[in-house]
Amino acid sequence: MSYLELTRMAGAEAILAIAVVVVLFFDLYVVRDQTPGTRRGFAAALSVIGCAAGLMFVKLMGGEGEIPGGMLVLDDLTRIAKMSVLGIAAFAILLSADNDFTPHVGEYYALMLTSTIGMALMVSSENLLMMFVALELASLSLYILVGFNKHCAKSSEAALKYFLFGGMSAAFMLFGLSLLYGLSGSLELDGIAKSLQHQGADPLTLAAMVMVLIGFGFKVAVVPFHLWAPDAYEGAPTSSAALVATGSKVAAFFLMTKFVMTAFPASLGSGGWRAFEAGWAPAVAALAALSMIIGNLGALAQTSVKRLLAYSAIANAGYAMMGLLGNSGQGMASVMFFAVTYAAATLGAFGVVSAVERNRGGDKLADFAGLQKDSPWLSFFMMIFLLSLAGIPPLAGFFGKFYLFAAAVNGGEDLSLMWLVVVAVAMSSVSLYYYLQPLKQIYVVDRPAGAGEFKGGFALWVGLVGLAAAVVAFGCAPDLLVDCLTRGGVEAH
């Protein structure tokens, strides 16, 4: 493999790495004496340009291919995943452009970019070592980002929790991965699959599987590995929380799906109603069901919108896990579609929350009261994002859920997974209640007296418009995304 090819394949990551350096230097040397606002503007702009450039590179130049050993793999689906990650990162940066909680502007954006590099590497690796390195790169950057607000004790607490949980789950993951290597003698997913084919569901394989699932489960915050999420989301600065909630999720889901579907086909098992067979399917089904139930029920009692979004994230992770059970190209496509659209909606919601935090001083439900009078467009966007999360057509979240359900049921034999769909729709209907709470405050409740005028920066508006357009577009014309996802599919071996 020539260096040219290597560059072509790792181009996006390389561009991002350059962007990190550029941002740091620019902030350190060029705009050091400017106002924080200007510094932020420049840093954000440079970061966004970096992400956009990476995205363009992947779209236009990234070819097919594989670095030997599966370190870096690029095919149609991987490219889309990478583009999504980069896009999400770009929007997250846009939405964070107004936040003034820290004077360390350059470092902040640099860390966002490094996290993005980690995520981009995650989606294109099929080698156990590379996977772990990428995962850790992304996670470590995110730990720091979560604790970035030094003036707020909650932020540090959140970062500590996140770090401790993350560290422990990384340990599990590593242990599981090493078990897999020991069992199969290969570091590549394909190799592992071949070796494990004959082994079926023996205890050691199952143990390895469980540990790997624990590692991934933490990353996507499914029950029972979700305890860090509410505190982390609430305590972290909103823009960090946004990236945690969206980018890392998309990448993690993609990786998990690819991993599980590629490496463990022999230990599939079945999670069907009265058709239980040991394997990863029943485990995933159980995780999904628990997440949906606990995530949705937990959100009902929340008064802080960020915490509400955290529980919503847990619940949505549960829905997405259902797609894994599809165990087919459709399953993968449905997980990705859902993850991307979920990310867009959540990112937008966080963007609105950050705007409200800045103007009204908090993120409690009461702070949203009467928002439609102050800023009708902000309210409208919030409605789009929350309704998409609730699964109201014609927004993207609805189609995502439907796609997941269809893929899951199709994957099970003879409609045996219908029980999971029933749990999902039941919990989904519960969710409408808490998604309507902020909307109720915004549209129904009257504006409190003395609320000041609403200020929102240009970057915020660009970001929100883009995300809202994406949510609506993917909802009304899902084929835009589904087509790409199903063209390059991951088939179970």
Partner 1 sequence: MDDFGANCLSLIVPVTFLGAAVIGLVRMPDEDVRRVALGTALIGLVLGLLGTCSFAHIDGPAIAVLHDCAWVKSLGIHFLLAVDGISLTMVLLTGFAATAGVLFSWNVDKRVREFFALYFALIGGVYGVFMSLDLFLLFVFYELAIIPKYFLIAIWGSGERRYAAMKLALYSFVGSAMVLAGMVAVYVAAGAETMNLIELAEKARAGAFSDSFQAWAFPLIFVGFGILAGLWPFHTWAPTGHSAAPTAASMLLAGVVMKLGAYGALRVAVALFPAGLAQWADAIALLAVIGIVYGAGVALVQRDFKFVIGYSSVSHMGFVILGLVTLNEVGLSGAVLQMFSHGIIAGLLFGVVGRMVYERAHTRQLSMLECMGLSKALPFAMGTFVIAGFASMGMPGFSGFVAEIQVLIGAWDASPKFALLAGVGIVIGVAYTLRAMNQVFFSDAKPEHELTVPPAKPISLPEMIGAVMLIVCTLGIGLYPRILLDLIVPALHNDLFQAMWGGGGL
Contact footprint for partner 1 (CB under 8 A)? 330, 333, 387, 392-394, 398-399, 401-403, 405-406, 409-410, 415, 418, 421-422, 424-426, 428-429, 432-433, 436, 440, 443-444, 477-479, 482-483, 486
Residue 73 or 424: the one with the smaller Cβ distance to partner 1 is 424
CB nearer to partner 1: give 385 or 403. 403
Cβ 430 to partner 1 shortest distance, Å: 8
Respond yes or no on whether the N-terminal peptide bond of residue 224 is cis (omega within 30° of 0): yes
The burial class, CB within 10 Å (0-12 / 13-18 / 19+), for 406 is: middle
Shortest distance (Å) from residue 336 CB to partner 1: 13
CB of 465 to partner 1, least distance (A): 15
Question: Least separation, in Å, of the C-beta of 410 and partner 1?
Answer: 5
φ and ψ at residue 272, rounded to 5 degrees: -70, 160
DSSP string, 59-105: HHT--SEE-TTTSSEE-HHHHHHHHHHHHHHHHHHHHTTT--S-S-H
- 101 versus 337: smaller Cβ distance to partner 1: 337
For the bound state, the minimum distance from the C-beta of residue 448 to partner 1, rounded and expressed in Å, comes to 17
Q: Summarize the chain as % helix, strand, coil (round to 5).
A: 75, 5, 20
Beta bridge partners, 127, equal 188
The Cα 82–Cα 448 span in angstroms is 44
For partner 1, which is the closer residue by CB, 194 or 440?
440
SS3 274: coil
Give the separation between CA 117 and CA 17, rounded to whole angstroms.
Answer: 7
Asked whether the beta carbons of 123 and 488 are under 8 A apart, the reply is no
Report how far apart the first and last C-alpha atoms of the chain are (Å, whole number): 27
Least distance in Å: CB of 263 to partner 1? 25
Shortest distance (Å) from residue 359 CB to partner 1: 22
Give 446: exposed, middle or buried? Use CB within 10 Å, 0-12, 13-18, 19+. Answer: exposed
Task: Compute the least distance from the CB of residue 274 to partner 1, in Å.
Answer: 13
d(CA 285, CA 283): 5
Q: Which is nearer to partner 1, 31 or 472 (CB)?
A: 472
Sign, Cα dihedral of 278, 282, 287, 293: negative
Q: Cα separations (Å) of 324 from 4, 204, 335, 399, 431?
A: 36, 22, 7, 17, 22
**What is the smallest separation between the CB atom of 461 and partner 1, expressed in angstroms?**
17
Q: Which is nearer to partner 1, 175 or 377 (CB)?
A: 377
Q: Supply the minimum distance, in Å, between the C-beta of residue 398 and partner 1.
A: 7
Q: Which is nearer to partner 1, 277 or 483 (CB)?
A: 483
- 28 vs 465, beta carbon nearer partner 1: 465
Using DSSP, state whether 325 is helix, strand or coil: coil
- Buried (b) or exposed (e) across 282-314, using 16+ Cβ within 10 A? bbbbebbbbbbbbbbebbeebebbbbbbbbbbb
Nearer to partner 1, 280 or 405 (CB): 405
- Pick between residue 50 and residue 475 the one whose CB is nearest to partner 1: 475
Four-residue CA torsion sign, 168, 169, 174, 180: positive
